[in-house]
Amino acid sequence: MKNFIQRGDNVDCIAPYAVKSGDGFLDGAEFAVASTDAALGAPVVGVTRGVFSLPKAAVAITRKTVAYWDSAAKVLTNVASGNTKVGIFQAAAASGAPTVAVKLVPAI
């Protein structure tokens, strides 16, 4: 097929703030996990599919519920208001747990 460009699992992004490999971030409406370290405004390859362990807010998480990204705090949360839907929680997590597994669901 002549018009196919790429699978889209790893895409070119611009870091909205300094990121380290494994950090989550929003590039416009697209959520990704940085594959390498990058400075603010620098190009970085973002991974947009897969299951990742990412930092979470101090809230209890129920398995297989919708995950949202809180850009201000740079954490996952189960609170929809003011946040961006990024995936599905793959495990439950207590409010005191620092991270949680999330399956990324690409933005539309």
Give a yes or no: residue 82 inside a domain: yes
CATH of the domain at 38: 2.40.300
How far, in Å, CA of 75 to CA of 69, rounded? Answer: 6
Which two tokens mark 96? 């005191």
Give a yes or no: residue 30 inside a domain: yes
| 63 confidence band (pLDDT: 50, 70, 90) | very high
Give a yes or no: residue 4 inside a domain: no
Give a yes or no: residue 5 inside a domain: no
Identify the CA nearest to 61 among candidates 36, 38, 94: 94
38-60 average pLDDT score: 97
Give a yes or no: residue 2 inside a domain: no
Taking a C-beta distance cutoff of 8 angstroms, is the pair 20, 38 a contact?
no
Q: Indicate the pTM of the whole model.
A: 0.92
Q: Give yes or no for residue 107 having a pLDDT over 80.
A: no
> 52: domain range?
10-104
Give a yes or no: residue 89 inside a domain: yes
Domain count along the chain: 1
5-23 average pLDDT score: 94
